[in-house]
A and B are shown apart, each in its own frame.
Chain A
Amino acid sequence: MPKSINLHPFTVLALAAAVVTMATAANLWWVSCAVLTACALVAGWTGHLRRLAVLSASILIPTFASLLLIHGLVSQDASGLIAAAGPFRVTVSGLETAMVLGLRTAVLVVAGLLCTLLIDKHQLVAAIDLSPAPPQVGYLLAATLFLLPHMAEKQRTIGQAQALRQAGTGRGLSGWFQRVRLRAVPLVLASLQDAHDRSAHLSARGFPAAGSHARLRTVADSVTQQRVRWVALLFAVLGPIAILAPFWGSR
C-alpha cells in the first residue's frame, strides 16, 4: 500500500524544480546518478518504486536509444575513434555526450514522475484553487483528470458495442482505420455534446466564481513549508547561475 506524504503540492514541485535545474546545471554524471538514487529511495519508502520504474523506463529507453543513434553512432568528433564503417563513426566523446544528455533527461523524467506519484491530485486541484492562479485552471485540471478515466471507459464500451455488432473487424491498415473511426467518431460526438450540456449549467451558476469562496477541502501548509518553497525557488533560479558563472569567464 503506497504511503502518502503530508506536504503541500507546491512544496514538492518547488523542491523538484530546484533539484532538476541544479542537477542539469552541474552536468556531472555522479550528481545525476545521486539524484536518481535519491528519487528511487523516496519512491521505495513511499511504495511507488515499481510504478516509477515502469513509467520511467517507458520514456527513457526510447530516449537513450535515440541519443545513442544521434550522438553515439554518427559522431562528428575527429578524436577518440572506436569504430567506423561507412557513415557510422563511434567515438568516445560521442558516447559520453549521449550518456550525459541521457542522464540529464533521466533526472527530469524521474523527478517529474516521482512528483506525480507523490502528489494527491485532489490536493493539487485544491492548492491551485487557493492560489492566485486564474480560477479556470483548477476547474480545467480537475475536469481533465476526471474525464480521462471516464472517456477511456467510454471508449472501451464503444469498442465492445462495435465488436458485438461485428463492425470494424477488418485486418491491415484499412481495418485499423475503420476501428479508429468507429471508436473515435461516437466518442468525440458524445463528449462534445456532454460538454455543451455542462456549459449551460455552469453558466447558470456564474462560473468562474470571482473573489474568495469557501472550500470543503483544505491543503495542509505551514510557515516552514512556505519558507522551504521560497528557498527552493531561489535555488532553482540562482543555483544554475552560480554553477555556470565560472564558464562565462572561460569562454
Chain B
Amino acid sequence: MSPNLLLPEETSSQVLRRRLLASAGTLLLIGTYLVLVITQPTGIAEGLGQGVALVTFAAYLAAAVMLLVAVLPDLPVSTLTLIPVALALNIILGQFVGSVMVPLYLDSIGTVLVGFLAGRRAGAATGVLSTLIWSLFAPTVLPFAAGAALVGFLAGTAARFGALRRPYLAPMAGVVAGVLVGVVSAPVAAFVFGGTSGVGTGAVVAAFRSMGDSLLSAVTKQALISDPGDKAIVFLIAALLIYALPKRLSGSFDFIRRYRVLGQRGTK
C-alpha cells in the first residue's frame, strides 16, 4: 500500500525508470573516476586539459543529479521535511565554524544526521541537494555534489550496520567514510580546479608536489589527511546529537526502528 493514503501507488515502470537512473548515475560516477585515475590526463591548463575539466565537472554533476531524481520520489514526507533543516544546518554550522578560524569544515553535519535518521538514500539526496543549494552562494562546490552524496550514503550505511550502537563506532565509521570521500573527490579538485580552493589545504598539496608527486597524487594525499579527521568528528557529533533526541522523535523514523539503529539505547 502507498505510505500516504491520499496518493496513488507507483507503477512498476516508474520504479524501473528510477532504478535505471540510479544505476546510470552510479556507473557514470565510477566510470569517470576510473578513466581519470587510469589515464591521469596531463596538461590541465592547456590543450585538452580544459576538456578534461569540463567532462569531469559535467559527469560528476550529472551523476549526482541522476541519483537525486532516482531517490527523491521514494522518500517519505517525514524525511522530506527533515532535509531542509539538514541543509540549513550544513550551511549555518559550516559558516559558524569557518568564522572562528578552527581548521574543521563541519559542513556535512546535516547530511550525516539525515543519513543516520532516514537511511542512505535520504542521506545521498541530502548531500546532492545541499551542494546544489550551497552553489547559489559558492558556485565552486557544484562539482563536489557526488562526494557529498557519498557522505550521506555512507552515513546511512554505517547507521544501518550498527555504527550508532556504541559511541566509539561512529568516529571509526567516519574515518572510513572520509577516506572514500577523499579519494572520490580528489579528481574533481585536481582536474576541475587544478588543486584546492583553501590556502591551508593548498599548502599541503604544494608540499607533496615539491616531493615530486603528480597533481592527482598530491591532492589525493591531502584529501586522505584532511577528510578522515573531519568526517570522524562530524560522525561523532551527529551521533551525540541523535543520542540527545527524545526517543519519541528518533523512534518516529522507520529506518531507525527497522534496522535497530540505536540498539539497546533506542529501546530504553
Contacts and interface: CB of A to CB of B under 8 A. Distances in A.
A69 B198 CA distance: 10
A208 B197 CA distance: 38
Contacts of B87: 140, 144, 147
B117 to A, nearest CB: 8
Interface residues of A, number: 80
B35 interface: no
Contacts of B201: 66
Contacts of A55: 137
Contacts of B75: 136
Interface in A84-100: 87-88, 96-98, 100
Interface stretch (B96-104, B158-166, B224-232, B258-266): B96-104
Grouping DSSP codes into helix (H, G, I), strand (E, B) and loop, the B interface class, with mixed when no group exceeds half, is helix
B45 interface: yes
A217 B53 CA distance: 38
A188 B89 contact: yes
Interface string A156-177: 0000000000000000010010
Nearest to A194: B85
A43 B8 CA distance: 47
B28 interface: no
A189 B245 contact: yes
A100 B84 contact: no
B31 interface: no
B84 A112 contact: no
Given A62-B198, A203-B4, A195 B81 contact: yes
B209 A105 contact: no
Given A69-B206, A185-B241, A144 B84 contact: yes
A71 B88 contact: no
A49 interface: no
Interface in B44-72: 44-51, 53-54, 69, 72
B167 interface: no
B81 to A, nearest CB: 4
Contact of B8 (A141, A199, A210): A210
Interface in B210-250: 210-212, 215, 218, 237, 241, 244-245, 249
Given A148-B88, A210-B7, A140 B48 contact: no
A248 B54 contact: no
Contacts of A131: none
Contacts of B88: 144, 147-148, 150-151, 191
B198 A191 contact: no
Given A176-B100, A188-B113, A240-B54, A100 B196 contact: no
Contact of B210 (A74, A195, A199): A74
Interface of B: 4, 6-8, 44-51, 53-54, 69, 72-73, 75, 77-78, 80-85, 87-89, 91-93, 96-97, 100, 102, 113, 129, 133, 135-140, 142, 193-199, 201-203, 205-207, 209-212, 215, 218, 237, 241, 244-245, 249, 252
Q: Which 3 A-B pairs have the closest CB atoms?
A: A112-B139, A66-B202, A206-B6
